[in-house]
């Protein structure tokens, strides 16, 4: 049993870290049971999974090791009743204080490909392991350092922004419109930051969940402007999935390419 669970967790972990090309094949998501609440002390329950169809858990669970919950005052909270099953992970969050909570993971990883004795080899792991992972005789070494942020937001009472403060690392969202203040038919704006600086010309994919029941997916591609800003007018209420990926920015590994991804789940309510 333990071995099986470990296997599942390992699979999810690999998916979470995996190279950008593979990341676009499957979508990672964190789905809260509610995003707008009117009573302090309420709970939300959260699903976290990796799948093609949004938001159906039918592939692998997201690993909870890196799951961080930041309260309205900036304090870190522990997920309650956490469990990882075959297809999804789940946990509860108590909203003891009024304001906005950030729920998410940040995964840092390194991907390397190289040639050794005429054979192409691939490796993935952590930055600290890179030096010993690539053999001395390797040629055509290509290293990509990736940071991948997956998150969602939940608010009890009036929305607040303390938990949304950017860390300055990786690709992040700075709200212009609060992510828990989204209404169908209205336009919302957000700024993307790469290592704290505007992520210009960055493509953002926006997909409405529930695609299983739609003949044609409701999705859009928008681009950030020179200030890193993008806007989108929500065509209908629902849970939306947002993904952006940026190249460039400073890598902590010499000669490594940099890839940073941002993924979020937003709830858009009817007017």
Cα–Cα distances (Å) from 9 to 66, 71, 223, in that order, read 12, 26, 34
Shortest distance (Å) from residue 176 CB to another protein: 17
Backbone angles phi, psi at 257, to 5 degrees: -80, 155
Shortest distance (Å) from residue 31 CB to another protein: 18
Q: Which is nearer to another protein, 138 or 269 (CB)?
A: 269
Shortest distance (Å) from residue 269 CB to another protein: 6
Shortest distance (Å) from residue 181 CB to another protein: 7
Give the Cα separation of 100 and 103 in Å (integer): 10
* Bridge pairing between strands 27-32 and 119-125: unpaired
Give the Cα separation of 182 and 233 in Å (integer): 10
Q: Which is nearer to another protein, 119 or 271 (CB)?
A: 271
Helices (H), the chain: 2-17, 20-23, 130-133
Shortest distance (Å) from residue 184 CB to another protein: 11
CB 13 within 8 A of CB 50: no
> What are the residues binding another protein (CB under 8 A)?
36-39, 41-42, 157-159, 181, 183, 269-271
Q: Which is nearer to another protein, 58 or 186 (CB)?
A: 186
Q: Which is nearer to another protein, 64 or 164 (CB)?
A: 164
Q: Which is nearer to another protein, 45 or 113 (CB)?
A: 45
Give the Cα separation of 263 and 22 in Å (integer): 15
């Amino acid at each position: 049993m333990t071995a099986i669970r470990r296997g599942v967790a390992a699979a999810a972990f690999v998916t979470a870290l995996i190279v950008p090309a593979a990341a676009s094949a499957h979508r990672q998501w964190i789905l809260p049971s509610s995003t707008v609440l009117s009573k302090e002390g309420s709970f939300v329950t959260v699903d976290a999974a990796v799948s093609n169809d949004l938001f159906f858990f039918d592939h692998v669970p997201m690993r909870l090791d890196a799951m961080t919950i930041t309260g309205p005052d900036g304090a870190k909270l522990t997920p309650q009743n956490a469990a990882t099953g075959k297809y999804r992970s789940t946990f509860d969050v108590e909203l003891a204080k009024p304001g906005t909570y950030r729920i998410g993971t940040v995964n840092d990883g390194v991907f390397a490909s190289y040639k050794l004795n005429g054979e192409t080899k691939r490796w993935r792991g952590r930055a600290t392991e890179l030096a010993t992972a690539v053999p001395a005789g390797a040629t055509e070494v290509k290293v990509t350092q990736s940071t991948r942020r997956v998150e969602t937001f939940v608010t009890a009472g009036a929305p607040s922004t303390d938990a949304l403060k950017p860390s300055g690392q990786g690709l992040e969202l700075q709200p212009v419109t609060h992510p828990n203040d989204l209404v169908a038919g209205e336009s919302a704006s957000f700024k993307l930051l790469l290592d704290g600086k505007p992520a210009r010309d960055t493509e953002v994919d926006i997909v409405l969940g529930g695609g299983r029941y739609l003949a044609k997916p409701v999705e859009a591609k928008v681009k950030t402007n020179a200030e890193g800003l993008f806007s989108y007018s929500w065509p209908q209420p629902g849970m939306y999935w947002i993904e952006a990926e940026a190249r460039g920015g400073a890598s902590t590994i010499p000669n490594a390419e940099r890839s940073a991804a941002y993924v979020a789940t937003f709830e858009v309510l009817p007017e």
